[in-house]
């Protein structure tokens, strides 16, 4: 460690800045200073600071926060912190998407009940309590990760103040003709006993059996293949391809369904895949989306055989009440007994399952509320095309998804813990009545109807809607809610549309789609300007991270082992924006090593430069110093560009490389002697100036990614009076022309190369660096020799040699003699 000037306050610094960087001590300490000084608070009345608003997706309070979640939050935070330092008034809220299936399913699982086992009010209370527990747990992790959320803006979608706005958006969409109630087939989870949207249906490969069944066709037999014989009672037609020679003669004939004996027509349809099964398919109401299409197209009858809880509803006592899979087995057995199974072969197919509980979905028709999203598809696609996407390719996900949708969005759910649909029906004439905006929030499941009488028939009796809203109806209006909607005055204009919509690639088709379609319907414009999409996290084994794979890492575990800043470095460095990134403990280790290295550099600089250095002029600085400062300006320029492009991996790599190599390995090792008492004042002050400039800039450039270590150092280092106490309220640096020197980069590299080689040579010969030598011989190109000659004194002093011998050769070679 270097000697220090007498009369400085070095001692105090040595005392304040700990010898070893321990994230478990430093991170909570700086977090406390952030909270106490409320440095992340959005100022709604700031007169001239431009606003930057981030509409972060509120998570389901599940209690879990694995490293994949950490990746999401780090991305939000990198941007928030960067833009704050760029001079923006950053609006960075944190919400909780409380309602919906996940919480209900958890409540049912933890209490071992089904939703209807207890009164609704009690069930809601169980869900609320569970939600609060989970929120508290996740909030602690978010804070521990150092996310610069403005907690004054925290919200919960289950609060009446929030769901009042969900209901308001329902009323406005209803009154503007975007919503309707109707009976249409929808995806249905028989376990959760609710409708679910297309976006909530996942597809999984499932093994089944393809049964070739024999139907009677007048005087002949007709083979039909299906994996779902339990749908035979709902069979309403048989379709064949008119180009299929085998079946041309049977078109328009009638077939008799085995066991259930209904008579169904044979219809020609060119969409039938002749290569599947026997080439003849049965249409059942409803086996899949094709059935829905064909039932509608041919005006076929609708036969309901599956109940809302996934059981067969037919009268036949052999099958009545059986669960779908049991019914499949029993019907196949009866068919087999009748000699009607021609063949049964193993068959793997893609099955639609409930995203939450993985139960295969059924298609069930009952009255539901819908949003007319199909008529908005073109507007959605046009908007998505015009918006800025990072990375660009994520846009295709949304466009393809919007184009793939066949049905309007079903927004009603048959659940309990959710925003009530603000609708009553007249008991006499069934007329739909909605409350006034000033009546909200309402709960038609229990509250009294806010009407005198039916506007259609005058009846005074009403029935409240018992269905509730899809949770996406809550969470797809976060951007206008943050902006103060329904007040659309000045604040709204500033915050809406949001500057940034950051989220994972997995929710582009839900989150980004619902936000966009709702905002277009409500406000005629998109709710965000730029979308920042992060990839998915893979487990330590390279597979997608999942609890059941055993490759799942909790953020808390990672932070207990290494601290928040190493986890954040992993999030930044793991891969390019949008790409899937693997979780690696080695990366955490590398991050922690960097913190230790940086801390040691900082301690050294702060100890040897205990006060703000004296200002320098360009001409005063020797080549080495010019080189370092030029590298630094170059670094500032590149890192700024990387943050602008949201290339966090490149930004971090550049800062780490500068700190570790240019500053520590090359510069510091070479100038240590200039910081001793023996050095002359000018030499020392020049070096102090360069080191101080570097450390100050590193703190700032690193602040978005490693906010703890950056602030811990920044708070300790001597600073000019115009710098604030925390790095996070300081200004982002810009490259300074004053400290950029033409030619300093290549020349400095030559000089550093020669010094490094000379030191290595001494070490190889077992000579201590401090021991003087007689002659140092360096050969190099003419260009290199020119640089070395000009800096002869620096070389001799650094290497402690009496004379320098320079000679020409094709590359740098060093030799010494004692
Ligand atoms: Zn389900
Ligand atoms: Zn009426």
Q: Which ligand is closest in space to the CA of residue 459?
A: 2
Cα gap 674→681, rounded to integer Å: 9
Q: Kindly state the tokens that stand for 532.
A: 């920042």
Cα gap 682→774, rounded to integer Å: 27
CA of residue 357 to ligand 1 center, whole Å: 4
Dihedral sign for Cα atoms in the order 361, 538, 95, 481:
negative
Question: Where do we find the tokens 């599940």?
Answer: 62
CA of residue 453 to ligand 2 center, whole Å: 8
> What pLDDT does 401 receive?
94
Dihedral sign for Cα atoms in the order 139, 141, 143, 145:
negative
DSSP class of 509: I
Radius of gyration, alpha carbons of the chain: 35
CA of residue 260 to ligand 2 center, whole Å: 41
Burial class of residue 721, CB neighbours in 10 A (0-12, 13-18, 19+) = exposed
Q: Which ligand is closest in space to the CA of residue 456?
A: 2
Q: Which ligand is closest in space to the CA of residue 354?
A: 1
Of the candidates 446, 565, 783, the residue with the CA atom closest to the CA atom of residue 22: 565
Q: Which ligand is closest in space to the CA of residue 463?
A: 2
Dihedral sign for Cα atoms in the order 645, 646, 650, 651:
positive
Report residues near ion ligand 1: CB below 5 Å. 189, 191-192, 354, 356-357, 359
Cα gap 714→138, rounded to integer Å: 29
Instruction: Spell out the residues 6+ positions from residue 328 whose beta carbon is closer than 8 angstroms to its own.
Output: 228, 229, 230
Pairing of strands 388-390, 528-534: parallel
β partners of residue 364: 186
Q: Which ligand is closest in space to the CA of residue 415?
A: 1
> What pLDDT does 469 receive?
96
Q: Which ligand is closest in space to the CA of residue 104?
A: 1
DSSP 4-68: --TTSSHHHHHHHS-SS--HHHHHHHHHHHHHHHTTT---TT-SSSPEEEB-PPPPP--S--BHH
Q: What percent of the chain has pLDDT over 90?
A: 85
Residues of the chain short of pLDDT 50, as ranges, are: 1-15
Dihedral sign for Cα atoms in the order 440, 445, 446, 450:
positive
Cα gap 453→328, rounded to integer Å: 50
Q: Which ligand is closest in space to the CA of residue 200?
A: 1
CA of residue 457 to ligand 2 center, whole Å: 4
Question: Where do we find the tokens 């928040």?
Answer: 564
Q: Which ligand is closest in space to the CA of residue 425?
A: 2
> What pLDDT does 16 receive?
62
CA of residue 537 to ligand 1 center, whole Å: 25
CA of residue 195 to ligand 1 center, whole Å: 9
Contact predicate 801/774, CB 8 Å: yes
Q: Which ligand is closest in space to the CA of residue 454?
A: 2
**Polymer length of the chain:** 818
CA of residue 193 to ligand 1 center, whole Å: 7
Helix 101-111 to helix 120-144 angle, to the nearest 10 degrees?
110
CA of residue 105 to ligand 1 center, whole Å: 8
Q: Which ligand is closest in space to the CA of residue 194?
A: 1
CA of residue 361 to ligand 1 center, whole Å: 8
CA of residue 304 to ligand 1 center, whole Å: 20
> What pLDDT does 542 receive?
80
Contact predicate 397/495, CB 8 Å: no
Burial class of residue 505, CB neighbours in 10 A (0-12, 13-18, 19+) = middle
CA of residue 293 to ligand 2 center, whole Å: 34
Question: Where do we find the tokens 């500053």?
Answer: 663
CA of residue 167 to ligand 2 center, whole Å: 23
Cα gap 323→312, rounded to integer Å: 6
CA of residue 106 to ligand 1 center, whole Å: 12
Pairing of strands 95-96, 155-156: parallel
CA of residue 433 to ligand 2 center, whole Å: 9
Cα gap 59→96, rounded to integer Å: 5
> What pLDDT does 331 receive?
96
CA of residue 181 to ligand 2 center, whole Å: 17
CA of residue 289 to ligand 1 center, whole Å: 19
Q: Which ligand is closest in space to the CA of residue 433?
A: 2
CA of residue 364 to ligand 2 center, whole Å: 28
CA of residue 367 to ligand 2 center, whole Å: 19
Q: Kindly state the tokens that stand for 110.
A: 């933890």
CA of residue 100 to ligand 1 center, whole Å: 11
Instruction: Spell out the residues 6+ positions from residue 132 whose beta carbon is closer than 8 angstroms to its own.
Output: none
β partners of residue 351: 204
To which H or E segment does residue 531 belong? strand 528-534
Contact predicate 462/449, CB 8 Å: yes
Contact predicate 101/131, CB 8 Å: no
Cα gap 578→563, rounded to integer Å: 24
CA distances from 765 to 98, 457, 727, 754, 762 (A): 69, 106, 45, 17, 5
CA of residue 378 to ligand 1 center, whole Å: 31
CA of residue 304 to ligand 2 center, whole Å: 29
Q: Could you give the 3-state DSSP secondary structure of residue 768?
A: coil
CA of residue 70 to ligand 1 center, whole Å: 27
């Amino acid at each position: 460690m270097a000697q220090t000037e007498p009369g400085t306050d070095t001692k105090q610094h040595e005392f304040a800045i700990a010898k070893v960087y321990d994230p478990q001590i430093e991170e909570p300490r700086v977090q406390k200073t952030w909270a106490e000084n409320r440095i992340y608070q959005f100022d709604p009345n700031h007169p001239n600071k431009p606003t930057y608003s981030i509409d972060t997706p509120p998570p389901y309070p599940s209690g879990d926060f694995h490293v994949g979640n950490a990746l999401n939050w780090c991305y939000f935070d990198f941007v928030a912190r960067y833009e704050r330092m760029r001079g923006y008034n950053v609006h960075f809220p944190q919400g909780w998407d409380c309602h919906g299936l996940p919480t209900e399913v958890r409540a049912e699982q933890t209490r071992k009940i089904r939703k209807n086992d207890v009164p609704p009010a009690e069930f809601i209370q169980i869900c609320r309590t569970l939600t609060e527990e989970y929120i508290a747990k996740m909030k602690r992790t978010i804070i521990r990760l150092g996310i610069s959320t403005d907690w004054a803006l925290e919200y919960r979608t289950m609060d009446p103040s929030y769901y009042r706005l969900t209901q308001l958006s329902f009323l406005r969409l209803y009154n503007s003709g975007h919503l309707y109630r109707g009976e249409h087939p929808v995806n249905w989870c028989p376990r959760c006993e609710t409708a679910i949207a297309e976006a909530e249906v996942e597809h999984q490969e499932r093994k089944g059996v393809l049964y070739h069944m024999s139907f009677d066709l007048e005087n002949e037999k007709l083979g039909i293949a299906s994996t779902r014989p339990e749908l035979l009672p709902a069979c309403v037609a048989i379709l064949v391809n008119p180009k299929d020679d085998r079946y041309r003669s049977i078109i328009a004939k009638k077939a008799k369904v085995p066991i259930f004996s209904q008579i169904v027509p044979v219809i020609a349809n060119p969409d039938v895949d002749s290569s599947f099964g026997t080439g003849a398919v049965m249409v059942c109401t409803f086996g899949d989306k094709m059935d829905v299409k064909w039932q509608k197209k041919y005006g076929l009858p609708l036969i309901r055989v599956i109940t809302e809880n996934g059981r067969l509803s037919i009268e036949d006592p052999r099958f009545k009440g059986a669960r779908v899979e049991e019914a499949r087995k029993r019907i196949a057995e009866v068919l087999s007994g009748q000699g009607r199974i021609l063949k049964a072969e193993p068959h793997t197919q893609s099955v639609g399952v409930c995203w939450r509980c993985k139960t295969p979905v059924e298609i069930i028709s009952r009255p539901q509320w819908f949003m007319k999203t199909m008529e908005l598809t073109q507007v959605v696609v046009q908007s998505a095309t015009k918006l800025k996407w990072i990375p660009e390719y994520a846009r295709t996900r949304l466009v393809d998804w919007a184009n793939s949708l066949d049905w309007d969005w079903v927004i009603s759910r048959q659940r309990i813990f959710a925003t009530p649909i603000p609708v009553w029906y007249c008991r006499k004439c069934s007329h739909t009545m909605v409350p006034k905006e000033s009546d909200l929030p309402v709960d038609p499941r229990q509250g009294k109807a806010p009407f005198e009488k039916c506007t259609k028939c005058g009846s005074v009796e009403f029935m409240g809607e018992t269905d509730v809203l899809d949770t996406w109806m809550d969470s797809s209006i976060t951007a206008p809610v943050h902006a103060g909607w329904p007040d659309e005055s000045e604040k709204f204009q500033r915050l809406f549309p949001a500057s940034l919509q950051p989220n994972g690639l997995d929710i582009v088709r839900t989150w980004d789609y619902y936000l966009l379609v709702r905002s277009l319907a409500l406000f005629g414009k998109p709710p965000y300007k730029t979308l920042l999409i992060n990839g998915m996290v893979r487990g330590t084994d390279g597979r997608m991270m999942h609890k059941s794979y055993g490759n799942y890492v909790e953020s808390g575990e990672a932070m207990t082992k290494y601290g928040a800043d190493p986890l954040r470095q992993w999030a930044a460095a793991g891969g390019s924006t949008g790409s899937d990134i693997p979780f690696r403990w080695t990366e955490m280790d590398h991050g922690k090593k960097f913190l230790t290295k940086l801390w040691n550099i900082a301690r050294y600089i702060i100890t040897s430069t205990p006060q703000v250095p004296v200002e320098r002029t360009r001409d005063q600085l020797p080549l080495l110093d010019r080189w370092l400062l030029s590298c630094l300006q170059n670094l500032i320029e590149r890192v700024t560009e990387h943050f602008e492009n949201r290339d966090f991996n490149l930004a971090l790599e550049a800062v780490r490389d500068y700190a570790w190599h240019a500053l520590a390995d090359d510069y510091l090792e070479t100038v240590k002697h200039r910081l001793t008492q023996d050095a002359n004042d000018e030499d020392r002050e020049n070096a102090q100036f360069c080191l101080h400039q570097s450390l100050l800039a590193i703190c700032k450039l690193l602040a978005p990614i490693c906010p703890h270590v950056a602030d811990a150092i920044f708070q300790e280092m001597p600073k000019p009076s115009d710098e604030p106490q925390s790095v996070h309220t300081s200004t982002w640096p810009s490259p300074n022309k004053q400290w950029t020197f033409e030619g300093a980069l290549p020349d400095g590299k030559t000089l550093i190369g020669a010094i490094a080689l000379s030191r290595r040579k001494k070490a190889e010969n077992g000579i201590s660096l401090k021991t003087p030598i007689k002659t140092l011989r360096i050969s190099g190109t003419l260009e290199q020799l020119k640089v070395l000659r000009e800096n002869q004194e620096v070389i001799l002093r650094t290497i402690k040699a009496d004379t320098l011998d320079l000679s020409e050769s094709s590359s740098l070679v060093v030799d010494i003699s004692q």
